[in-house]
Amino acid sequence: MPADLDLMYKKILQAAGGADNISSLGSCMTRLRFTVKDEALVNVEALRRVRDVAGYFYSGVQHQLIVGPSTAGKLAAYFNERHNFAKLETENAPAGVKLNLQDSVKKNKEAVKRKYFSNLSAVCRRIGNIFLPLIPAYIGCGLIIGITNILSKTLLSGFPNVTALLGIMGQSVFFYLMAIVGYNANKEFGGSPALGLAFAGILNAPALAQVNLFGYMLSPGKGGVLAVLVVCWVGCILEKKLRAWLKGSTEMFLTPLLTILIIGPLSLAVIQPVAGWAADGLAALTQFLLEHGGLIVGGFLGGTFLPLVMLGIHQSLIPIHQQLMDSLGVNPLFPILCMAGAGQVGAALAVWWKTKNHAFKTLIKNALPVGVLGIGEPLIYGVTLPLFKPFVAACIGGAAGGAVVAFFQVASSIPFGVSGVVLLLALANMHSIIFYACGYLTAVAVGFFCTCWLGFDDPGEGTVA
């Protein structure tokens, strides 16, 4: 692997205009991201042709190379060990950027997108920063929950202690979930992370069940993650104002004291009841739509999820997934959205079958395994979106699969995390397993045949889209 990393590093560095041209560099789960000082020095086509790069995407400020879930972090570390670039945290334009004509067109397109989606994208990015660090725990615990559900009815049916221990391991992330969300939320909103722990503790303290406030018994955990997010947001606003108003050495004592004393009663008397009402209404509405709108609602959700991923606003759904889990005990929404990835797998298979370009076949072959496992970005930006018609076919496949999954009321036993075929191990029951598989195969088949029917402009030999 080090030799491969070194080759990718050298090719990317050369295509980016050299180390002196890179101003900041970092990574997310699947992408190497960097900004440059002079856009005119960047060779986009060379970046696309780097071996093991599944796709290239330009956000208007950042250059993003889709390299896969394990390679992204290793490659970023490999770069920074040698050059110690500034950490990439925001998408603010670096000073002194000079654009060539091609990059100028791309920047103008992104400016239009930012004009209409900037506020929404900023909110989604913040939500993602709060919840995405939880994904490894969700994946590990979710798989344990799913496997335990299967084994407890089969091989381990006579071993209650074993299944009980496995159940404890599977539920472990949810035991302190609100505290972790509170910590991450306060950190993201610019407050003291430790106060986020305090806010979550106030909202979820078991002793609340014994407190009568204005004639109503309080309920620990009411409002779930929605209540925690709102309380942390309001608490951070107050904390920052207090820090600005209070001066001297007493500020370090008075700010946390006053913040907790003010936010505590406010959260229990106002924010938690309102958030609880909203959370219960959201769960009831979702359940009603899926029970009575089945095919139509499932088709709409499955068919529109890929565009949400493309715009980066799909992260706004994460609190909804968790809230459905808290309110219903299962999540009927997540399996529907997973059908979008299945439709894309079918579309990519059709492109792989029909294309005459050997380099493109290799790219698809490398991106398909992670696509089947539920990581769809390499297929989106490397295959279907550049060709466009396969992207449309993938959305149609996702709609078909979503309709099947919604009609048969499939539900997962985890809020989100694992997806693709791996979600089969974390579904609520055998009924859900069977019909999730039916929906997945439907989405793959429809995505495949729609791509064949719509066609696409095959990249010329020796080029990659």
Residue positions annotated with a catalytic role: 28
φ, ψ of residue 398 in degrees (nearest 5): -65, -35
Note the helical H segments in 205-271: 224-245, 251-266
- For the chain, how many helices (H) and strands (E)? 18, 7
Question: Which H or E run contains 174?
Answer: helix 160-175
Is residue 72 within 8 A of residue 29, CB to CB? The reply is yes
Structure-token match 């930012």, residue found: 114
- Cβ atoms of 359 and 324 closer than 8 Å: no
Q: In 3-state terms, what secondary structure has residue 183?
A: helix
In 3D, which of 425, 339, 375 has the Cα closest to residue 142?
425
Q: Helices (DSSP H) in 380-429: which residue ranges?
A: 385-387, 389-407
For residues 328, 330, 336 and 338, what is the CA-based torsion angle, rounded to 10 degrees?
140
Asked if 272 and 227 touch (Cβ cutoff 8 Å), the reply is yes
Measured CA to CA, the distance from residue 247 to residue 58 in angstroms comes to: 45
Tokens 């993650």 -> residue: 225
